[in-house]
Amino acid sequence: MKLIVLETALAAFLTSLVAQAQADVTHVAVAANFTEPAKEIAALFKQKTGHEAVLIFGASGAFYTQITHSAPFEVFLSADAERPKMAVDNGFAAPDSVFTYAIGKLVLWSRVVDVTNGEAALKAGNFQKLSIANPVAAPYGTAAVETMKALGVYDALKPKIVQGNSIAQAFQFVDTRNAELGFIALSQLHGVTAGTRWEVPANLFSPIRQDAVLLKTGANSEASKAFLAFLQGPEAKAIIEQFGYALP
Amino acid sequence: MLGMPDDIWVPIKLTIELATISTLALLVVATPLAWWLARSKAWFKEAAAAIVSLPMVLPPTVLGFYLLIALGPDGPGGVIASLWGARTLAFTFTGLVIGSIISSMPFVVQPIRNAFAAVGDRPLEVASTLRASPRRAFWTVALPLASPGLLTGAVLGFAHTVGEFGVILMIGGNIPGRTRVMSTAIFDFVETMRWREANLLAGGMVAFAFVVILAMTLLEKRFTRAGA
């Protein structure tokens, strides 16, 4: 009798070991603007596959630097197309694993002035501070500068620009009303009703293609590959679209 | 200057300006505060000392976050800024000075307080028997005796302001020539993969920190010997 209990316990223990081996963990570096959809996708991913995706959020530029210094990430969801490509070119990522998972939409948002007609608001310039993400490090910052240049207001507005280190900080400056208005990602306004917004027409800036890539560290990780596959599946795509991104 | 490009030189200049102004302001505020903390017998004295020391323990993100709100249109900073028609003190040099004063305060108050405490009652009692008023005793007896502490406080305050990063990142807005100081410039250079510039500034910071610590140690030695 005792033996049977022991055997059952042993069997249960072994089964749990096997289950653990199958349910893998992957570490995913996620661009700050994709925080919310990534959380939902990771939750669904765990539910469907049993694998766990540990998400690390930050600025794509900082992530790239960390990846080149052997950061323990297996998957990189960048806010641009440039850095995943560089990761492949420089031997930090698996070639042929790059794909566009979302296309970002840029929006002008304010909690102080009316920006429903964003073009007119920018041209009138009745504000003191305009918040953008660092245009050299963050793609949404670059897109903001391109937009202002396309509208011919960049030189006039330049002295009013304040830079957030990431798109999350650009949002923070507008949300705390320290800056009257700012260019942010439409996805950041998911569930936000405050203030007024103007979705920047796509012809004013080059498309913000957000690419994902499998890093060399994850080349043999089942969970990492499964996560990237899941990201391209219909369930993930629905979430991505729902959060205000276009699909490739 | 010295053939350095503007995006290196301007942050250095700004950092020195910020540290100098903050240090002077810190000495003015911290000296009476330290005097009170060293001499007062009030029951809430240690609670006040703990509040002053908070920035030493709190992560800069906590300070930065509260400062962003306090400096903004909903906080006292917005009220002050409205005096000259601005909406916020965030993204301004003044805002950085306020942030630096708060976050460097414990590093200045502590050594000055210790120095005042070390002076003790005796010299002041002697001064008073020689008919010096308390005010005069402070200026001619306590302050000169505590001067090594003031110097230590000034050096630490200056150095800590130069090294300030988190708070400035959160309230600065990275404006060249106004709020883009050395520490945030280095961060930017690293982020944008301009490692040569990052190296130049970071190396300079290492050398600066070494000189500060060495100077502090040597000064301390000299004063202890002079005192002994």
CATH number at residue B214: 1.10.3720.10
Crossing angle for the helix pair B93-119 and B147-162, to the nearest 10 degrees: 150
φ and ψ at A232, to 5 degrees?
-95, 0
Q: How far apart are CA B160 and CA B162, in angstroms?
A: 5
The overall average pLDDT reported for chain A is 90
Q: State the sign of the Cα–Cα–Cα–Cα dihedral A40, A43, A47, A52.
A: positive
Q: How confident is the model at residue A10 (pLDDT cuts 50, 70, 90)?
A: low
- Prediction ipTM score: 0.76
Q: Residue B16 — φ and ψ, nearest 5°?
A: -65, -40
**Chain A residues with CB-CB distance to B178 below 8 A:** none
Please name the helix (run of DSSP H) or strand (run of DSSP E) that holds residue A184, with its range, or none. Answer: strand A181-185
Determine which of B87, B171, B195 to mutate to test the interface with A (most A C-beta atoms within 10 Å).
Answer: B87
Nearest-by-Cβ selection for A134 from B72, B74, B188: B188
Helix or strand run (H / E) with residue A145: helix A139-150
In a domain, B121, yes or no: yes
Element (H, E) at A31: strand A25-31
**DSSP H or E stretch at residue A54:** strand A52-58
Shortest distance, CA B150 to any CA of chain A (angstroms): 36
B87 and A129 in contact by Cβ < 8 A? yes
Residue with tokens 């990052």: B198
> In this complex, do A136 and B192 lie within 8 Å of one another by their Cβ atoms?
yes
Q: Name the residue facing A134 among B71, B72, B174 (closest C-beta).
A: B174
Average pLDDT, rounded, for chain B: 90
Q: Whole-angstrom Cα distance, residue B221 to residue B213?
A: 12
Question: Which distant-in-sequence residues (6+ apart) come within 8 Å of B163 by Cβ?
Answer: B183, B205, B209
pLDDT at A21 over 70: no
Let me know: does B99 contact B63? Beta carbons within 8 Å.
Answer: yes
Q: What is the pLDDT of residues B87-103, one digit of tens each?
A: 899 999 999 999 999 99
Does B72 sit within 8 Å of A131, measured CB to CB?
Answer: no
B71 interaction partners in chain A (CB closer than 8 Å):
178
Nearest by CB to residue A137, choosing from B71, B87, B191, is: B191
B167 touches chain A (CB under 8 A): no
Nearest residue of A to residue B71, measured between CA atoms: A178
- Assess if residue B120 is contained within a domain: yes
Those residues of chain A whose CB sits closer than 8 Å to some CB in chain B are 59, 61-62, 64-65, 128-129, 131, 134, 136-137, 161-165, 169, 172-173, 176-180
Which of A71, A38, A79 has the alpha carbon at shortest distance from A55?
A38
The reported pLDDT for the residue numbered B175 is: 87
| Residue-range definition of the domain harbouring residue B137 | 6-39+46-227
Q: Is A26 helix (H, G, I), strand (E, B) or coil?
A: strand
CA of residue A215 relative to chain centroid, distance: 17
- B1 within a domain of the structure (yes/no): no
Per-residue confidence (pLDDT) for residue B1, from 0 to 100: 45
Please tell me the predicted confidence (pLDDT) of residue A61: 79
The answer, for B187 touching chain A at a CB cutoff of 8 Å, is yes
Q: pLDDT tens digits, residue range B165-205?
A: 999 988 998 888 889 999 999 988 887 778 899 999 999 99
pTM of the model: 0.79
* Separation between Cα atoms, residue B89 and residue B183, nearest integer Å: 20
* B127 belongs to a structural domain: yes
Q: How many domains does chain B have?
A: 1
* Banded pLDDT at B86 (limits 50, 70, 90): confident
CA pair distance B67, B70, nearest whole angstrom = 5
A-chain CB neighbours of B173 within 8 Å are: 129, 131, 162-164, 173, 179
Q: How many CA atoms lie within 13 A of A91 on its CB side?
A: 1
What's the whole-number mean pLDDT along residues A28-38?
Answer: 91
Q: Which of B197, A76, B179 is nearest to B188 (CA)?
A: B197
As a whole number, mean pLDDT of residues B156-164 equals: 94
Strand order in the sheet with A130-133: A161-164, A130-133, A181-185, A106-110, A196-199
The three-state secondary structure class of A101 is strand
Query: Which domains are delineated in chain A?
Result: 2-103+209-242 (3.40.190.10), 106-199 (3.40.190.10)
The verdict on a CB contact (< 8 Å) between A137 and B188 is yes
Residue indicated by tokens 């653990």: A20
Say how far apart CA A163 and CA A135 lie, in whole Å: 8
A27 pairs with which residues across the strands? A54
Q: B141 lies in a domain?
A: yes
